[in-house]
Amino acid sequence: MPPMHDTDAGLVPGSPAPDEQVTSYLRRYLPDFYFVNSPLSRMRRHMAILKELPDAPSGVIVSFYRAPRASFTELVLCARDEAQPGLLAKVAGTLVALGVGVHTAWIHSLDDPLGEGGTIVLDTLILSESLLGRSRALSTKTQKNLSNALTNVLNHEWTAQELLDNASRTRQRAARAPIEVSGLAVARAGDYTLFKLRAHQSNGALSRITRALAQMQIGVAHAQINTFEREVDDVFFVTDAQGLAFEDEEANRLLYQLRDALSRSE
């Protein structure tokens, strides 16, 4: 896909984009369900972040946003994807190690909008932390620590496992605990295989699930993560390591393998 520049959309470089040009730009790279879940204000932030990525010194952008009086913090992570499956597992492991909870997340991999080749990840996560047993938006200190940790992990300076090894025992147990799966289903969705997973919520659920997928060499192209009280309801659009959907028989085999992996402690 050729790169798209401001002038391609009839814009003066650096000028605010009209609504329809924001959506037109993003529709070149993102699936339809992105536009169902994203308000225009978030789309504008995403468009700006995608254009800033080439100039980011670390090659990683970690951006936080909190709506007035909101009890959660929105994190947008943008970086170049890795050749092998597992980047999302590194992000989820980092969150567990720092005691950050995920309420909802929208995960996307897209062709590089600037035409430099490769794949870009654009992940939006709704996060909170606990203080004295109560959930709250991330503090400034937590945001700084999380930004630093994610940048170092994605640049291979640290590993998520090292962070977990230095975390509290409670967080270590959460990252390794078995997941009680209450529902698993598989379907074909265009160029992807669709895994639907429902499980009882635990602080380390997303880390366990994404780590198991990575260990099975399953790539996550898109995902929607939902947590409802004590229930996890996740949808993963997955591929093999070459970016292809799985054949039906292989997909079903992998689904049972995933259930078995999650049922055991690590």
Who has greater pLDDT, 114 or 88? Answer: 88
| 88 secondary structure, DSSP code | H
Helix (H) or strand (E) holding 73: strand 73-80
Using DSSP, state whether 177 is helix, strand or coil.
coil
**CA–CA separation, 34 and 75 (whole Å):** 16
pLDDT reading at 16 higher than 70: no
Q: What are phi and psi of 46, to 5 degrees?
A: -65, -45
Contact 223, 236 (CB under 8 A): yes
Encode pLDDT of 132-191 as tens digits: 888 999 999 999 999 999 999 999 999 999 999 999 999 999 888 899 999 999 999 999
- Look at strands 181-189 and 60-65 and give their pairing: unpaired
Residue closest to 99 by CA, chosen among 208, 227, 211, 203: 203
Who has greater pLDDT, 203 or 236? Answer: 236
Q: Which two tokens stand for residue 155?
A: 């640049």
Cα distances (Å, whole numbers) of residue 131 to 66, 80, 101, 110, 139:
17, 33, 12, 36, 10
Helix (H) or strand (E) holding 241: none
pLDDT at 108: 97
pLDDT band at 3 (very low <50, low <70, confident <90, very high): very low
pLDDT band at 86 (very low <50, low <70, confident <90, very high): very high
0.85 surpassed by pTM: yes
Contact 195, 255 (CB under 8 A): yes
Q: Which residues contact 123 (CB under 8 A, 6 or more apart)?
A: 75, 76, 77, 78, 88, 91, 105, 106, 107, 108
Share of the chain above pLDDT 70, in %: 93
Share of the chain above pLDDT 90, in %: 74
